[in-house]
Amino acid sequence: MVGKNSAFMLGIGLLLLLAVGMMPWTPQAPVAAADVRVSKEQFASYLDEWSEAEGFFDSDNFISNETSYLHVVDELRRQAEPGGIYIGVGPDQNFSYIAHARPALAIIIDIRRQNMLEHLLFKALLARASSRAEYLGLLFAKETPNIDSSASVAELLDAIRRAPPVDGAFEKNLEWVKHTLVVDYGLNLSPGDLGKIEYTYRAFAAENLDLRFSTIGRLPSFRYPTYEDLLREKDRNGNYQSFVSTEELFLWIKEFEGENRLIPIVGDFAGRDAFRKVAAFLNSNGLRVSTFYTSNVEFYLFGRREWGAYIDNVRDLPVSGNAVFIRSYFPSFGRIHPLNMEGHRSTSLVQPLVPFLDDDSAGRLSSYWDVVRGEQ
């Protein structure tokens, strides 16, 4: 049951199509693009009401390790219906997908509370920054480089790398972030939460563009990309496509966040609380999922009892008929995906959602390979 503050205030022009008397996951017509805004009070309530108890994952996961994540941009633009609902997992690779998919609302569901807090850090810094250069300068506690808004991402990152750190900037920025989240937004953040925000911010400020994905209890692997590597990644046609690749994409994400349309919550893909509340909210407002970025979470669920719970969660979601998954596949037992690009361990995929549920119902998914293989 969604709380009383969950009445979603939609901007003028949103087409509300209620699915009455249907299975929740039954495909429906695409949602019209909309001007959607969420108040600060609603944003705060959704974080609390929809989140469940956090679980364990063996990585801080400050950044992604999916070097292939932008390979799907063209396919995402072709298949994802603008104006729908985006569901994702993990840190800021979601920004690039959201900027290209253009949903009405994005909900990030991650088992780690620290992921939610990291998104809140990004949100506060985006609110303060007026440009890509200023955002990265704030994120790294560096001086904002004087660079033209039309600069390429390579020029931008070169300038950021050369920019000197600013004495006292980290502490000053951190206090501003805390004030923004606790006072301006009224978020219910404990001292432990604020400590995790500081821990996350300190990692970016200390490592800057050299920050790498790492796992707890193991040394950092140099086969993992740096943050700079990820921001410099390209699509299959050799074009830069990250959310800082152009000023236009960055400003779109800034506005999206400013309208509180990215809502990060704590939830397990195989849990019942967070997904059930999100599904109830979407159903009650006639909203349908158009894009679901799962990363490689399904790999950890398939073949275990949690798989059935995950499938139930997906079925609960109201989805459009052409809804898609964005998946990331890492070679299992040395099996390389046919769509893998040379030089990348991961393979990113855009695959239809509804046929996946049909395949599961029909017993056609006998292995994880069947999940990610799709139709070639």
Residue 114 lies in a domain: yes
CA 110/CA 60 separation, integer angstroms = 12
Query: Quick one: pLDDT at residue 357?
Result: 97
pLDDT band of residue 213 (cuts 50, 70, 90) is confident
Give a yes or no: residue 153 inside a domain.
yes
pLDDT classification of 221: cutoffs 50, 70, 90: low
pTM (predicted TM-score): 0.89
Tell whether 361 is covered by a domain. no
Contact 118, 62 (CB under 8 A): yes
What mean pLDDT, rounded, does the chain reach? 89
Question: Is the per-residue pLDDT at 25 higher than 80?
Answer: no
Strand pairing partners for 215? 59
Q: Report the distance separating Cα 178 and Cα 304, nearest Å.
A: 40
Find the domain containing 144 and state its range. 40-290
Q: Residue 124: exposed, middle, or buried by beta-carbon count in 10 A (0-12, 13-18, 19+)? A: buried
Structure tokens at 42: 């609603």
Say if residues 288 and 13 touch (Cβ distance below 8 Å).
no
Structure-token pair, residue 140: 């790294």
Confidence of residue 57 (pLDDT cuts 50, 70, 90): low
Q: What is the pLDDT of residues 60-118, one digit of tens each?
A: 689 999 999 999 999 999 999 899 999 999 999 999 999 999 999 999 999 999 999 99
Task: List pLDDT tens digits, range 141-173.
Answer: 999 999 999 999 999 999 999 999 999 999 999
- Give the model's confidence band at 375: pLDDT under 50 very low, under 70 low, under 90 confident, else very high: low
Domain count, the chain: 1
The answer to the question of residue 110 being in a domain is: yes
In a domain, 329, yes or no: no
Arithmetic mean of pLDDT, 180-203: 97
- Say yes or no to pLDDT of 4 above 50: no
Q: pLDDT, tens digit, for every residue of 256-309? A: 999 999 999 999 999 989 999 999 999 999 999 999 999 999 999 999 999 999
Q: In the structure, what pLDDT confidence band is assigned to residue 17 with cuts at 50, 70 and 90?
A: very low
CA distance 60 to 286: 35
Mean pLDDT over residues 184-210, rounded?
97
**CB contact at 8 A, 324 and 357:** no
Nearest CA to 96 out of 353, 348, 338 is that of 348
Residue 81 within a domain: yes
Q: Look at residue 267 and tell me if it is in a domain.
A: yes
- Indicate if the pLDDT at residue 35 is higher than 60: no
Whether 100 is covered by a domain: the verdict is yes
Q: Could you report how far apart the first and last alpha carbons of the chain are, in Å?
A: 41
